[in-house]
Structure 1
Amino acid sequence: MAVIGGGWWFYQHREANALVANAKPAAPPQVTVSKPLVENLDTRLGFLGQFSAVDQVELRAQVGGTLTGIYFKDGDIVHKGDLLFSIDPVPYEIRLAQAKAQLENATAKRVLADQELRRAQELEHNDAGTVENVQQRTSDLNGAQAAIDDAQAQIRDARFDLDHCRISAPFTGRIGRHLVSIGNLIAGSRAATSPTTLLATIVSLDPIYLDFDMSEADYQTFSHYRSDLRSPLANKVELTSGNGNDSVLTRQGTLDFVDNVLDRSSGTIHARATVANPDLRLTPGEFSRVRLAVARPVPTLLIPDASVLPDQSEHIVLTVAADGTVVPKQVQVGDMRGGLRVIRSGLSADDRVIIDGLPFAAPGAKVATRDSTLRYTAKQD
């Protein structure tokens, strides 16, 4: 029994060794690699901005009275000088007529005073009158002239009130909804401190402001490049905003204001660009992505964003050496361009970056490679 059992074990062990000796080694996993794409790209800073109106006015009456007309539809585009509201002008027409009557009365009194002064001067010249009489008539003439001046001022004041019974658009823009109805008695005043009735609001649309905030680090980068360039390049911004069809609207604007202090609570500084809006598609309150170019185009490395692996606070890219070994490299990344991620440092143009098959690649392991070529799509930039 012992001899038979020993022979059986020897036979099985020999067969197992033969199978191991004849077994082929497992093929390494296959991955797709590509060299980084090199494109001449400028250096950009990106922000989230919000549009605001250059001019925004609350329409209030400078005279009080009964509202007699509304001459726009809510939300219309109105043009400078268009009639928007009218107030009952009758009380102000009466006041203007009274002021004109006072002027006629004052003019008649001045004519009489002038005639009496001449007679007093003739009498005094012929030794038939006194100097006191001449002085009295001169005073009467000056008083009549003052009454004329006062009446003329009353006419201008009454005409001012009458003219402001018609409220027109101060500039071209979009008007909101009317806040009063025809027949309401509204309060009006020329003084900003007096209570008045708000009739509507109007905002300008072309041009339009785009407001955004820079972090302290971005502001330092912006200031550094702008001082080095000594050109208006750093004052140009590009903006994109999506619409209901998921398309992107791209426009350009001019950076024309950067605040003089950083906000201590948020660590940001406010900036503003002015954007042309001739088609009036941009609306105050709408958000937009802002891209600010701060350096001229230089050769830049691009790889797919999926090839960049986060490692705590760092970023890792897996490359393949000449012998097929996976080599991780730490990189510094930038923004997205043309659907690809900008690599600021850590890679060279000759590195073979794994762009597909990352789950099968481990640092230090051997892989089989298949070459591919990256493409840059400017429309996605």
Structure 2
Amino acid sequence: MKAVSRTRLLTSLGTASVILSGVALWALLGSTATRSSDTGPMPSATPATVAAIDRRDVSLWEEFSGRLEAIERVDLRPRIPGAIESIHFREGSLVRKGDLLFTIDPAPYLAEVEKAEAQVRAAEANLAFARSELERGLRMTANQTIAQRDLDTRLNNVREAEANVSAANAVAKAARLNLSYTEVRAPISGRVGKIEVTAGNLVDGGSGAPVLTTIVSTNPIYVSFDADERAVQRALETLPTGGDRRDHLARIPVEMRSGPDAEVVRGKLQLIDHTVNSASGTVRVRAVLDNGDDRLMPGQFARVRLGRAKTTPAVVVPERAIGVDQDKKYVLVVDPTHKAIYREIKLGAAVDGGRIVTSGLNPGERIVVDGLQKVRPGALIAPQPEAPEKSAALHTRGSSASTAN
């Protein structure tokens, strides 16, 4: 009996030993697994191009639609009536001030000149006779052989003859002037238009006469546009203070394109109208452009950029660094631990491949500029330097920012 009890006791002790050994092994394995998990590999950093943001000077521009206008335009009319004898220009050609364009038959006016000059000679002959009579009378006065009344008459005859000479000269001058009007010359330099009256036709003279052709000046040329009154005010505020700011309008730059692929033509502000259109809230503005190569034509459509007299300091980021989150714009700021931080920003005007940031970003902060689609907020960043040419393009001083209207 005692032997059986001893056997059972040994069996129970063996079983308990096995169970305890299993528990110890499980605990050891669990502890090892935990330590293995705690000391596992860190998550890998995402490569991304990073750049530091700074504040730089930019030229702010606002864009408007406008039309080109000739500075001078002349409807050429004859000053005297007559028959068009000849035409001396080609339609659409460039002419200079003083170039002969039309000739009106000069024969009748040449005859008038000859007649007037003959009257001058007759008046001069009468004056010479009156003067000789006066001299004779003066000699007779010394001998007291002429009455004072006769002497006064001879003096009056001289004065009347002098007046007749002056009148005859005036008639001759008018006749010669009318003769000169038979040569219709260009009053301005520019491009001549269509011939409205051909050779052989009779025309009247004066303001009611028919238009022979039209001339418009081409260089320089105006561009006129309606600008938002607030944009005009912002531009005027950059001019020197004191006195009338409008005396310094030429300091405000203007750029113009006649099409999306056309070259930029630069000019200067010349006029800001004195009245705001109450219906549209716009002001009529005019600038002067150089047109030395004669590419621009009056009436042509133009996209005009109105600048400011001074540059403005601004924070600018590349377009490719800006993310879109529904109706929000954001950038990923890289903190000192190389972690990407989501930052909402407010944007201003476009500027040379970038955008002005009006709020949400400070100079000196680093942002992800390339690889934005690969980086999530909170991710670890492996910063890569920005390509020199991209950095130089964005950091050029005096860059221009444009806002369309």
Relative to the length of structure 1, the TM-score reads 0.75
Which amino acid is the alignment partner of residue 279 of structure 1? D
Write the mapping of 1:1-381 to structure 2, written as runs, cut at 5 A.
Answer: 40-48=56-64, 49-189=66-206, 194-227=207-240, 235-242=251-258, 247-286=261-300, 287-296=302-311, 298-304=313-319, 307=322, 309=324, 316-317=329-330, 319=332, 327=342, 329-334=344-349, 336-348=350-362, 350=365, 352=367, 373=386, 375=390, 376=393
Q: What code does the residue aligned with 2:213 have?
A: A
Q: Residues 339 and 70 of structure 1: is their aligned pair in 2 closer, same or farther, counting only changes over 3 Å?
A: farther
Report how far residue 241 of structure 1 moved. Answer: 1.6
Are the aligned partners of 2:314 and 2:357 in contact in 1 as well (CA < 8 Å)? no
SS at match of 1:80: coil
Deviation at 1:200, TM superposition (A): 1.4
Shift of 1:178: 1.4
CA displacement 1:223-255 (0-9 Å, x = unmatched): 222247999798142424255xx5331232222
Structure 1's unaligned 5+ residue stretches are 1-29
CA distance change for structure 1 residues 232 and 143 in 2, over 3 Å: closer, same or farther? Answer: closer
The CA deviation at 1:87 is: 0.8
Structure with greater Cα Rg = 2
CA distance 1:36–1:234, change in 2 (3 Å): farther
Q: CA deviation at 1:152?
A: 0.3
**Matching residue's letter, 2:223:** L
Q: Which amino acid aligns with 2:144?
A: D
The amino acid across from 2:356 in the alignment is V
CA gap of 1:233–1:298, structure 2 versus 1, over 3 A, is farther
RMSD: 3.7
Q: Does structure 1 retain, via aligned residues, the 8 Å contact 2:334–2:341?
A: yes
Q: CA-to-partner distance for each residue in 1:198-219, whole Å, 9 max, x for gaps?
A: 1111122222222233312112
Per-residue CA deviations over 1:135-166 (Å, capped at 9, x if unaligned) read: 12222221111111001001111111111111
User: Residue 271 of structure 1 aligns to which amino acid in structure 2?
Assistant: V
Identity %: 26
| CA deviation map 1:35-83 (0-9, x unaligned) | 5865734231223233222222221221111111111111111112211
Alpha-carbon distance in 2 for matches of 1:36, 1:186: 76
Shift in CA distance, 162/264, structure 1 to aligned 2, threshold 3 Å: same
In the alignment, the residues of structure 2 paired with residue 54 and residue 67 of structure 1 have an alpha-carbon distance, to the nearest angstrom, of: 29
Do the aligned partners of 2:53 and 2:367 also contact (CA within 8 Å) in 1? Answer: no
- Which whole-Å CA distance do the structure 2 matches of 1:356 and 1:289 have between them? 36
Secondary structure of residue in 1 paired with 2:307: strand
Amino acid at match of 2:220: P
Letter in 2 for 1:151: A
Aligned length in residues: 340
Please give the alpha-carbon distance, in whole angstroms, between the structure 2 residues aligned to 1:294 and 1:370.
43
The answer to whether the 8 A contact 2:48-2:383 is kept is yes
